[in-house]
Amino acid sequence: GNSVTQMEGPVTLSEEAFLTINCTYTATGYPSLFWYVQYPGEGLQLLLKATKADDKGSNKGFEATYRKETTSFHLEKGSVQVSDSAVYFCALFTAGGTSYGKLTFGQGTILTVHP
Amino acid sequence: DSGVTQTPKHLITATGQRVTLRCSPRSGDLSVYWYQQSLDQGLQFLIQYYNGEERAKGNILERFSAQQFPDLHSELNLSSLELGDSALYFCASSVGAGSSYEQYFGPGTRLTVT
């Protein structure tokens, strides 16, 4: 079945530091890949997505590139801010078969950014 | 604000009881998804409805059921509740039912079973 593995957290950084959160996946077919962010007390928000190999998703300074050869979709940001403190989820979506309509999530990575 | 509303925000109930969680999708969205977020299982897909019909099923227990009504709102019914059912339950909606349609998540209902 499909699965997503994220790097163990929590991750603690100082403001303006470089961020990488690793994400690798196992899937049949050609999944679409997503990063979602969950701020304290809120629901998930889509941060960025990529639908095919070598696509780069980007939003709010965050980037992730769909690497089919390494089955990875690592999240990066060049300079984090305190306001980026949240839980980040990597997810994949495959349409068709038993995975129709289903998002499969990683376990989430807690990011804390200190001033 | 995603436009997806969920009620109630918090729910505390006892083991063996039955509860109903309600979700109103964004205006114009036909697809509704239910997810469960717990500390031990993480975030798991439960079930999807599209325009009133069940379209996909995940790790949903037999004690749980859902439906989508003609006005497109959805309800998740949880019965014979156990302590392990304590979790945050999210509803999400999208215009369509495939991967190209972004899912918008509601704020969740926190269920505590005592």
Least confident of A36-40, A41-45, B9-13, B63-67: A41-45
Give pLDDT, residue A95: 66
Q: Are B31 and B91 in contact (CB under 8 A)?
A: no
The mean pLDDT of A13-22, rounded to a whole number, is: 97
Coil, strand, or helix at residue A6?
strand
* Residues of chain B below pLDDT 50: none
B97: contact with A, CB 8 A cutoff: yes
Residues B56, A94: C-beta atoms closer than 8 Å: no
A96 has a pLDDT exceeding 70? no
Strands (E) across chain A are located at 3-6, 11-14, 19-21, 23-26, 32-38, 44-50, 56-59, 62-65, 75-77, 86-94, 102-105, 109-114
Question: Which residues are within 8 A (CB) of A14 and not within 5 positions of it... i.e. 6 or more apart?
Answer: A113, A114, A115
Q: Which of A103, A105, A107 to mutate to test the interface with B (most CBs of B within 10 A)?
A: A103
Residue from the list A45, A49, A105 with its beta carbon closest to the beta carbon of B42? A105
Residue of chain A nearest B37, judged by CA positions: A107
**pLDDT score of A94 more than 80:** no
Contact B60, B36 (CB under 8 A): no
B100 Cβ neighbours under 8 A, 6+ residues apart: A32, A51
What band does A97 get if pLDDT is binned at 50, 70 and 90? low
pLDDT tens for B74-94 read 999 999 999 999 999 999 999
Judged by average pLDDT, the poorest of A25-39, A78-92, B1-15 is A25-39
Considering only CA atoms, which of B57, B42, B10, B33 is closest in space to residue B106?
B33
pLDDT for res A7: 83
Check residue A42 and give its pLDDT: 85
Q: Which of the pair, B72 or A100, is modelled with greater confidence?
A: B72
To the nearest whole angstrom, how far is the Cα of B15 from the nearest Cα of chain A? 25
DSSP A94: E
Distance between CA atoms of residues B109 and B114, nearest Å: 16
B99 in contact with A, Cβ within 8 Å: yes
